Structure 1
Amino acid sequence: MIGPSASAAELIAHLETLRSEENVAGMARFGIVTETALGISNPDLQKIARSVKKNHARALELWAGDIREARMLALYTAEPTKLTPAEARRWAEDFNSWEIVDCAADLFVEARLDDLIPQFAADNREFVRRTAFAMIAGAAVHRKQDSDEILLAWLPLIEAHSADPRNFVRKAVNWALRNIGKRSRACHTPALALAERLAASPGKTARWIGKDAIRELTNGKVIGRLK
């Protein structure tokens, strides 16, 4: 079993031995970019990550390997306390898949790189902009110690980009709005108000975001769980 002392090169060589063309074909059906994929599932990559432990310098080398699984392993084994905004921005230059974006967003949230959210949102590239709203969605769930006001401060950014019709952006904007609204009763009212405003918008994308958010935020089970 490969262990914590493994180098990036040794890990990549190990990943190559696990290649599955059948799995690569299956990934493509879920919209995962497979040009550099080896076909290793994320649960299996997470098992490898647990066995090799976190190592930030090695994670940077893994990312440079330009292989889907090596990059996912980089995200799983990077050290949030060592990740710099410059490194996160550099990785974002390579984002080409919703899967990579959503995994990276979790890491960026844990690293508390919130200052990157407006920067990523201002970037017109689809997957970079998605990162901003995936980070907001993740923070609403995972950063339980943050005040509600921190999350509510992102509502204007959500509204500002609610007209972006690209699939992976509009879904992330919707995701961010729904997660803020489900966070607490204090968040629910302003998030629902924004959803209603978007639902009445003349723009097709904003209307879809608003109506979909309203459907979830007015669900009885969701309201019952709010504190």
Structure 2
Amino acid sequence: MTTAEEIIAHLRSLRNQRNIDGMRRFGIAPTGEQLGIAAPVLRAIAREHRRDHELALALWSSGIHEARGLATLVEDPRQVTRGQAERWVRDCDNWAATDALAFLLDRTPFAEEKAHAWSTRKAEFVKRAAFSIMAGMAVHRKELPDSVFLGFLPVIARESTDERNFVRKAVNWALRQIGKRNARLLGAAIAQGVKIQRLDSRAARWIAADALRELRSRR
């Protein structure tokens, strides 16, 4: 059985400074160790270790950016606890780690609960996680009723005045993905976008203009 230590040693052997520099130019600048491994490489490694909860915990605890990304790919959403979700989201210090975690958590039974709860948090990446989860649920959770996503729209409007770049981009993303889910939600998202556009906020106007441009083109 491959251990976390063996996988981490392999990851370190793939370290690429040029990729690290490129990632940092796109705002992926974790405070911990960074190896510059491309996402397709991590996905290929993950295919050998699917649904391995203990491995995921060990990889995340390493603090290495790419090991944490790999942890989200090998983790079993059915075994993630609320406490684990809270610990992991507090560890996120860049948008890429946040979104990778969101794309794990959007498949948990408590995804909707966390999306609502974290949308009120002050920490930038915790708040981003809320809206990244909404976006991920809109894409991945085909079984959910429209009511779940209609319930997200007022939250999107409420938080659309947050000027922080990584928050406003996730709010915009959530609005667009909800609107692209089906015709009913498209109409609701456009209507909400129009309301957001009227708010006295530069962030809100940007979110609305960008989302409405895409959503109206789908009619």
TM-score by length of 2: 0.95
SS in 2 for 1:110: coil
Q: Structure 2: any 5+ residue segments left out of the alignment?
A: none
Q: Is the 8 A contact 1:24 1:34 kept in 2?
A: no
State the distance in 1 between where 2:201 and 2:48 align.
49
State the distance in 2 between where 1:119 and 1:79 align.
22
Q: Check if 1:64 corresponds to 2:41.
A: no
> Which amino acid is the alignment partner of residue 72 of structure 1?
G
1:96 counterpart (77, 82, 93): 93
State the distance in 1 between where 2:88 and 2:200 align.
36
State the distance in 2 between where 1:33 and 1:195 align.
31
2:119 counterpart (98, 118, 121): 121
Q: Is the 8 A contact 2:175 2:189 kept in 1?
A: yes
State the distance in 2 between where 1:196 and 1:115 align.
26
**Any idea what the Cα deviations from partners look like across 1:119-153, whole Å, max 9, x if unmatched?**
21111011100000001111111111111111111
2:39 counterpart (20, 38, 42): 42
Deviation at 1:189, TM superposition (A): 1.6
SS in 1 for 2:78: coil
Choose 1 or 2 for highest CA Rg: 1
SS in 1 for 2:106: helix
Q: Check if 1:106 corresponds to 2:103.
A: yes
State the distance in 1 between where 2:15 and 2:30 align.
12
Name the count of aligned residue pairs.
217
Identity of aligned residues (%): 42
**Any idea what the Cα deviations from partners look like across 1:10-68, whole Å, max 9, x if unmatched?**
11111111111122112112211155111111110111111233310111111010101
Find the counterpart in structure 2 of residue 138 from structure 1.
136
> Which amino acid is the alignment partner of residue 19 of structure 1?
R
Q: Is the 8 A contact 2:161 2:204 kept in 1?
A: yes
Find the counterpart in structure 2 of residue 155 from structure 1.
153
Pairwise mapping of residues 174-193 of structure 1 onto structure 2 (< 5 A)? 174-193=172-191
- After the TM superposition, which parts of structure 1 deviate over 3 Å for at least 4 consecutive aligned residues? none
Find the counterpart in structure 2 of residue 15 from structure 1.
11
> Which amino acid is the alignment partner of residue 124 of structure 2?
E
Deviation at 1:182, TM superposition (A): 1.4
TM-score by length of 1: 0.92
